[in-house]
Amino acid sequence: MAKRRRKKARARKPKVKPEYQKQRADVYTMMLVTSFLALVLGSVLLHLENERYNYDFEAEEYKTAPVDPSP
């Protein structure tokens, strides 16, 4: 019982979060950013290329098979 009294009698220290320095970006983070930018750039360039040639995504003229009129 004496041990219990000692634990209760101690003053509790306020919880303080330790301060950490923010981790620097490493090589893998830069590779991730570079690959993301390459994907975005590729998507934009593909879109511009498709608009340049009026690319038809629906392909209306090819929805039906051509019919041979000869018997």
Q: Is the pLDDT of residue 57 over 90?
A: no
What is the extent of the structural domain holding 31?
A: 26-54
Exposure b/e, 5-21, CB count within 10 A at least 16 = b:
eeeeeeeeeeeeeeeee
Report if residue 64 sits inside a domain. no
Report if residue 2 sits inside a domain. no
pLDDT at 13: 74
Report if residue 50 sits inside a domain. yes
**Per-residue model confidence as pLDDT tens digits over 10-32:** 667 778 887 888 888 899 999 99
pLDDT at 52: 87
**d(C-alpha 44, C-alpha 52), whole Å:** 12
Mean pLDDT of the chain, nearest integer = 80
Report if residue 34 sits inside a domain. yes
**d(C-alpha 65, C-alpha 61), whole Å:** 9
Tokens 């301060």, located at residue: 19
Number of domains making up the chain:
1
- In 3D space, the residue among 21, 19, 37, 41 whose CA is nearest the CA of residue 29 turns out to be 37
Q: What is the pTM of this model?
A: 0.50
